Structure 1
Amino acid sequence: MTKQRKGIILAGGTGSRLHPATITVSKQLMPVFDKPMIYYPLSVLVQAGIQDILMITTPHDQAQFKKLLGDGKAWGLNIEWAVQPSPDGLAQALIIAEDFLDGAPSALILGDNLFFGSGFAKTIKRSVKDTGGATVFGFHVKNPSDYGVVGFDKDMNAISLVEKPENPASNYAVTGLYFYDEHAPKYAKTVTPSARGELEITALNEIYLNRSELRVELLDEGTTWLDTGTHRSLLAAAQFVAVMEDRQGIRICCPEVESFRQGWLTKDELLTLAEPLKKSGYGNYLAKVAESEH
C-alpha cells in the first residue's frame, strides 16, 4: 500500500538577489503584501491535502521560522524541521528529507514561489493522487531562457529538460513545485554537482524523463505563478496579492483557511487563531471564514 504523500518546503539559500534586504532576515520570512512569503507555498501543500510537512531552512534562520510556524499543530498540520547547511542545490532537499519521507511519495515546493488560481487548485488535487513517477508543472513565460524549459514532441509529450537554454525548445518553464514517487531520494543521490557546484533539480527530473516516468502538467491561463526571488518580482507579487484581495474582498493563500477547508481545523480552532490577529485585519478574515463556512 502506497504511503500518504508528504510535503517538503525548501526555504534555504542566502537570498543574495534580495540583498541588502535579506542580510539579516530570510527572504521567505519577508512580507508579500499581508503575509510572510512562506505562507504561500505552505498554502499550496495544504490545498493539495498534504498534512505532514518538512521545513528545510538555513541553520541560522530556523529559530525565526519556528517562532512563526512551530510544529504546525495549531494549524492542524504536522511540521518537522531540517537544515540545509549550505545552498548545494534544490535536489539536495530530497536527500535531506529521506528519513522524514520514510519511503513515502513527496511534494517539493520552493519557499519563494506563489501559485494562485481555481484551475491550479484542481490540477494539484488531481496530480497529488498519482503517486508513480514524477510530475512537474509547466507555465508559459515570455522569457524562457531564465528558467528550466520543457521541450515537447508533436503530441505534447515531454522530450527534453534544459536549464536556462540559449535557444529554448518552448516557452514553458518548469515551476518550483515537483511531485515525486518514493524513489526520489535514491535518484537524487546519483546526481553529480553541476558546473556551479549544485545538485540541480533539472538533473533529477531528467532521470525520470529518461525512464519515461515524467509527466508535465501545463498550468492554464487562469493560473498565476510568481517567483519572488528578486526585488522587482517581490514587488510584483505584493501588487498582485493586493489587487486580488481588494477586488474580491477576500484574502488569498492563507494556510489556516485552507486547513479549515480540509477539515483539519474546527470553527472554534480557527476563531482562536483569528483572535490575536484582528488588529491587522487578517484575523477578521479568518473569523469571517470560520463563521460563514462552518
Structure 2
Amino acid sequence: MKGIILAGGSGTRLYPSTNSVNKHLLAIYDKPMIYYPLSVLMLGGIREIMIISTPEDIGRFEEMLGDGSAFGIQIEYEVQREPKGIPQALTIAEEFIADDKVTLILADNIFFGHGFTTLFRKAIKNHRHATVFGYRVKDPERFGVVDFDHHQKVISIEEKPEHPKSDFAVTGLYIYDQQAVKLAKKLKPSKRGELEITDLNKQYLMRNQLDVELLGRGFTWMDAGTHESLFEATEFIRITQKRQGFKLACIEEIAYYLGYISKQALYEKGKAMEKNDYGQYLLEIADRKYTQQYWDSIEHHPMLGLVQNE
C-alpha cells in the first residue's frame, strides 16, 4: 500500500496568512499541519509516501521532512503545477503508485479518536476496490455526501447536494485499488474546471465497488481550511494534549513506537528541540522506564492503536 498526501492549492480561504506560505506548513498548535495527515498514514502502517504540492512550496516540505529516513519511512515529492482537483494527485503519482493500492489523504484533514488506528488498519486490510470514510455533520450540503442502507452498502454519493440524502460527509481520506489511476485519467473537468473526487468515487459505485467506513461519535474529523476551522483545530489539539498528557500526530513518537527509529534517535531529536515543550516531550518518552502496564496502555493509545508487535 502506497500513501499520497495532497498538499497543493493556493490557500485562498486563508489569505492573507497564506500569501507567502503553503497553508499545510502553518502550525496547528505545536506542529505543522502536514504532520497530521502524515501521522495517519504512518499509523496505518504505510511507509512509502508521496507528498504533492505546488512548484513554489515543494522544496519547503522536502526541507522539513527530508527523504523520511529520519522517521523510518520513505518520502518522495512531486509537483502539482495547477490545482486541477483531487483525482489529479493519482495521475501525478502514477509511476509512484505503479501496480500497488494507494491511500490518498488531503493535507488539511485531521482525524482523532480512540480506536481510529484500529478502524483504519482494518479498512486497509479488508480493502477491496474503493473505500471512503463517512462522518456525520450538521450541514451536509457543504460536502460530498454518501448515502447507504442498513447494511452499510453505499447507495449514492453526491457533491454538495442541495437536498442531501444523508448527513454523512465524505472525509478527505480515500483508499483505492489499482484501477484508480486509469479511472482518474478518464474523468472530465466539472463546471469549475477541476476533476472531482466524487466523480471518481461514482465510477467505483457504478461498478458496485465502493465501500464506506463510518466514523462514529467517538471520532473527530476536522478540515482546517479556513481561519475559523484552523483556530478550532488548534484549540482542540491544545486542550486534548493538555488534559490527556500526550501529543497528537507526533511523528517522532509514532516512529519510535512502531519500531522505525531507536530510542537514541528519539533522544537526539528531543535534544535538538529541548528548549520547547515538543522537544521536552520527546526526551521524556526516551527517558521512560517501561513497564508491562505502560506497554499495555500504549497498545490502546488513541493515536497509536494496534502498533505494538505489528
The TM tier, using the shorter chain, reads: over 0.9
Shift of the alpha carbon at 1:266? 1.2
Shift of the alpha carbon at 1:70? 0.9
Corresponding residue for residue 56 of structure 1: 52
- The DSSP-based 3-state class of the residue aligned with 1:145 is helix
Corresponding residue for residue 79 of structure 1: 75
Corresponding residue for residue 234 of structure 2: 238
Cα-Cα RMSD = 1.1
Of stretches 253-262 and 33-42 in structure 1, the one that deviates more from structure 2 is: 253-262
Corresponding residue for residue 159 of structure 1: 155
Residue pair 1:119, 1:220 contacting (<8 A) in 2 also: no
Residue pair 2:10, 2:22 contacting (<8 A) in 1 also: yes
Tell me how far apart the structure 1 counterparts of residues 150 and 179 of structure 2 sit (CA, whole Å).
29
Corresponding residue for residue 23 of structure 1: 19
- The DSSP-based 3-state class of the residue aligned with 2:132 is strand
Question: Could you tell me which amino acid in structure 2 is paired with residue 125 of structure 1?
Answer: R
Match status 1:192 vs 2:188: yes
Residue pair 1:145, 1:164 contacting (<8 A) in 2 also: yes
Shift of the alpha carbon at 1:43? 0.3
Tell me how far apart the structure 2 counterparts of residues 184 and 287 of structure 1 sit (CA, whole Å).
42
Shift of the alpha carbon at 1:261? 1.6
Tell me how far apart the structure 2 counterparts of residues 291 and 123 of structure 1 sit (CA, whole Å).
31
Tell me how far apart the structure 1 counterparts of residues 286 and 123 of structure 2 sit (CA, whole Å).
28
- Which deviations, in whole Å up to 9, do the C-alpha atoms of 1:195-242 show, x marking residues without a partner? 111111111111111111111000121111000000000000000000
Tell me how far apart the structure 2 counterparts of residues 290 and 191 of structure 1 sit (CA, whole Å).
49
Corresponding residue for residue 254 of structure 2: 258
Structure 2 residue runs of 5 or longer lacking an equivalent are: 296-310
Q: With structure 2 as the length reference, what TM-score do the two structures score?
A: 0.91
Question: Could you tell me which amino acid in structure 1 is paired with residue 4 of structure 2?
Answer: I
Corresponding residue for residue 276 of structure 2: 280
Structure 1 residue runs of 5 or longer lacking an equivalent are: none
- The DSSP-based 3-state class of the residue aligned with 2:17 is coil
Match status 1:94 vs 2:66: no
Tell me how far apart the structure 2 counterparts of residues 198 and 184 of structure 1 sit (CA, whole Å).
17
Aligned residues with identical type, % of pairs: 49
Question: Could you tell me which amino acid in structure 1 is paired with residue 174 of structure 2?
Answer: Y
Shift of the alpha carbon at 1:154? 4.2
Shift of the alpha carbon at 1:119? 2.1
- The DSSP-based 3-state class of the residue aligned with 1:45 is helix
Question: Could you tell me which amino acid in structure 2 is paired with residue 127 of structure 1?
Answer: A
Of stretches 203-212 and 122-131 in structure 1, the one that deviates more from structure 2 is: 122-131
Corresponding residue for residue 131 of structure 2: 135
